[in-house]
Structure 1
Amino acid sequence: MSTPQLIVTSGEEKKDTDPMNPGQLDKALPATRLLEKRRMVAQVQEALENQKIEFAQKEEILKKREETLRTKDLQLQESLIGFSKFLQENGVKKKRAEKKASDEIRLRLEKEAEISQLESQLVQLKHEKNATHADLERMMFYHKYLETVIETSEGFNEINDLLMRHATLQATNEDLKRHVESCSDSAEVVRTELQAYVKSSSNEILNLDNSISVSKQTLEKKKGETAATQLHMDSILHAAATKTLARSQVCMAAEYLFQRICKLSNISHFPYNNPLKQLDCVGDYISDLNHIIKAYKIKCIKKEHEAQRQREKEAQQQM
């Protein structure tokens, strides 16, 4: 086992330790080796303590430097904050100064515009004054004329009375004009309504005439249709009367024939009232009578044939 060489430096002092060689340590006694080991451990412990002290000193120095840097940083931050406040105050002051300057410029421009407007108003008022003065000089002639009229007139004592009378007459004239215009407008409205009414009445009369004409045509058509219907009804009634007469005649003939065969026939018949039944009986009777006549004729013919044959036999016998 080898033991490293430890060098401890504290400040400016240096201590050199020369441990025993391994060969010498192996040859030494156990007690010597134990002492040597303890001495080496003590040296290592001392070196560690010295390093701890040196580390603590360096740490203290670093803490002082860190504190110094922190203090300088705080001072720098405070100076930056102060400078920022200074800049902000300067910015606010600058804005205030700029606003004040712009307000003063705006106020100056407003005052200049107001001065220009007042100057133009002054010029306009001067023109109005000159025009009014000219009108006054022109109206003085009328004033003198009105004074002359008042002096010569008995109904007016002052110019104001004359002017008021003129204003009254002028207002009355305006009222009359408005009344005339209103009456003219009313008359125009009435005239327009009358024309519209006449036009609508004319249209209504034309429509009514057309309706009357159409109604007359419809009436004539209906009269023709009624006449045709009446003729048709008359023909139907005539045909019905003819058929009724024929039916009555047929019924009477059937009744007569039925009564006749009831008298002539040896067979008792049921007293029918229906002409068809009566005609059936008559038909049966005539049919039976025809059969009887045919049978009689056949019998007569047979008798004639027998008589002729008898005569022929007698003639043959005589020959």
Structure 2
Amino acid sequence: DVSMEEYFRTTFEDKLLVKMPEREDDHLTSATRLLEKKREMMEVETALSAQKEEFQMKMESLQQRREELEKKEHQLKESLLKFDRFLKETDAKRVRAVKKAGDERAYRRQKEQEIVEIQGEMRVYSQLRERLKALSDRYERYQKFLEKVIEESNEFTEVREVMDRYETLSSTKKDLKRREDRNQETVEGHKSEQSRYKESKANEVLSQNNVLSGLRERLDESASRALQCEAEWTQVKNSVADRTLQLGMIRVATHNLCQLVSRYRDQGDDIDLDDEVLQVTSEQLARVQQFVLDLTAITDRVARGAIEVDEESDY
């Protein structure tokens, strides 16, 4: 839609373009041109008024048409809302119908399962009834037997007393059996304990035998080492005896040499054995050494003197 302002502006420009005077009228007077302008303005205003009326009529027509369109749009929206509500209600009904059908199917399956279970229980009860009937038929002769026992016995007067006596004897038998089992378990426990004790003692004896064997080995090793040490000690004693003998011989020889030296130096006098200094072998050897040194020196001097005498005799 074109706004009123744009419409007036366009119409006014068209009028001005159509009625614009040409340059060839420049020779007209100012009053004439003013009148011409006024006339043109009046024509423009007349045209504008006509255009306004026409535009107003068009606007009223457009407004009426718009109202009709809005009314139709409102009616269409209401129709759409009604149709949407109808669809929602239909869908809800469909969901409820589907749910109801599912619930009915589940309920039917449940009832069918219950029927199957009840039929199974009926078969079980029927079989149980048949077994009980068979037991009743089989135990009927025992009932007759017990009644006959009561008739011929002076101890019992009712079948219940016989059953009580039987239950008492049965309970006593079970107690005795439990005691026997406990005693047997106790005996087995003692046997197991005895076996473990024997095994423990056997292991202990084996361990002690191993220890004894180790001690015997150590004793044999100690005896062997003792024999070896004794042999070494004998060898040491023999070596010491030999060295003692050699030392004695050396001391005797040293003593004899010392006596010879003393006799030679002291003109045949024996060495004084009471002299503690001369009793030491080292001192005796020192004395012999000193004698040998002195004798060597004397021999050297004598030899040099003989050489000098020979030289003098030669001269």
Q: Same fold (TM over 0.5)?
A: yes
Instruction: Calculate the aligned-residue CA RMSD, in Å.
Output: 4.1
Structure 1 unaligned blocks of 5 or more: 1-7, 9-17, 310-319
The separation in 2 between residues aligned to 1:228 and 1:22, in whole angstroms, is: 165
d(CA) in 1 for partners of 2:59, 2:283? 163
User: Matches of 2:66 and 2:237 in 1, distance apart?
Assistant: 150
- Change in Cα spacing, 1:22 to 1:253, as seen in structure 2 (3 Å) is closer
C-alpha displacement of 1:140: 1.4
Aligned residue identity for 1:231: A
Alpha-carbon distance in structure 2 between the residues aligned to 1:69 and 1:48: 30
Measured in 2, the distance between the counterparts of 1:74 and 1:258 equals: 169
Question: What SS does the aligned partner of 1:156 have?
Answer: coil
Deviates more, 1:218-227 or 1:184-193: 184-193
- Counterpart of 2:292 in structure 1 is 286
C-alpha separation between the residues in 2 aligned to 1:244 and 1:224? Answer: 30
Closer, same or farther: CA 25–167 of 1 in aligned 2, 3 Å: same
CA apart distance, 1:39: 0.1
Q: Once the 2 structures are TM-superposed, how far is the Cα of residue 134 of structure 1 from its aligned partner?
A: 2.2
Q: Report what 1:185 is aligned to.
A: 185
Distance 2:49 2:99 in 1: 73
Could you tell me how far apart the structure 1 residues matched to 2:107 and 2:46 are?
89
Task: For 1:167 and 1:289, locate their aligned partners in 2 and report how far apart those are by CA, in whole Å.
Answer: 141
Q: For residues 38 and 249 of structure 1, do their structure 2 counterparts lie closer, same or farther at Cα, with a shift above 3 Å needed?
A: same
Partner of 2:81: 81
Aligned partners of 1:120, 1:139: CA distance in 2, in Å?
Answer: 28
Instruction: Tell me which residue corresponds to 2:125.
Output: 125
Larger CA deviation: 235-244 vs 128-137? 235-244
Residues paired across the two proteins, number: 287
Which residue of structure 2 aligns with residue 173 of structure 1? Answer: 173
Which position in structure 1 is the counterpart of 2:269? none
- Partner of 1:205, secondary structure, is helix
Shift of residue 38 of structure 1? 1.0
Aligned to 1:226: 226
- Structure 1 residue 213 displacement after superposition: 3.3
Instruction: Write the letter of the residue equivalent to 1:285.
Output: F
Letter in 2 for 1:157: T
Q: Which residue of 2 aligns with 1:104?
A: 104
TM-score by length of 2: 0.72
Provide closer, same or farther for how the CA distance between residues 291 and 105 of structure 1 changes in structure 2, counting only shifts above 3 A.
Answer: same
Query: CA offsets per residue over residues 22-47 of structure 1, 9 Å max, x none?
Result: 69956655423321221012111221
Shift of 1:302: 9.6
Secondary structure of the residue that 1:88 maps to in structure 2?
A: helix
SS in 2 for 1:154: coil
Shift of 1:294: 6.0
Q: Deviations over 1:126-166 (max 9, x none)?
A: 23223212211221111111122223333333222221221
State the distance in 2 between where 1:290 and 1:24 align: 187
Q: For 1:175 and 1:72, locate their aligned partners in 2 and report how far apart those are by CA, in whole Å.
A: 104
Instruction: Label 1:153 to 1:28 Cα distance change in 2 as closer, same or farther (>3 A).
Output: same
How many angstroms does 1:118 deviate by? 1.6
Q: Secondary structure of the equivalent of 2:155? A: coil
Structure 2 CA distance, aligned partners of 1:209 and 1:19?
A: 152
> Residues 278 and 82 from structure 1, CA distance in 2 versus in 1: closer, same or farther, beyond 3 angstroms?
farther
> Amino acid of the residue matched to residue 44 of structure 2?
V
Taking the aligned partners of 1:132 and 1:217, their CA distance within structure 2 comes to 84
**1:11 corresponds to which residue?**
none
Amino acid at match of 1:59: M
Please report the TM-score for the alignment, with normalisation by the length of structure 1: 0.72
Distance in 2 of aligned mates of 1:301 and 1:199: 109
Deviations 1:56-115 (A, max 9, x none): 332232233223222322222222122212211221122112212221222122122212
Q: Residue 12 of structure 1 aligns with which residue?
A: none
- Against the structure 1 CA distance between its residues 155 and 291, is the aligned structure 2 distance closer, same or farther, given a 3 Å change threshold? farther
The equivalences for 1:295-306 within 5 A come to: none
Question: Between the two proteins, what is the percent identity of the paired residues?
Answer: 31
**How far, CA to CA, are the matches of 2:68 and 2:283 in structure 1?**
161
Correspondences of 1:1-319 after superposition (within 5 Å): 29-240=29-240, 242-243=242-243, 276=282, 279-293=285-299
Over 3 Å counting, the alpha-carbon distance change for 1:275 and 1:78 in structure 2 is: farther
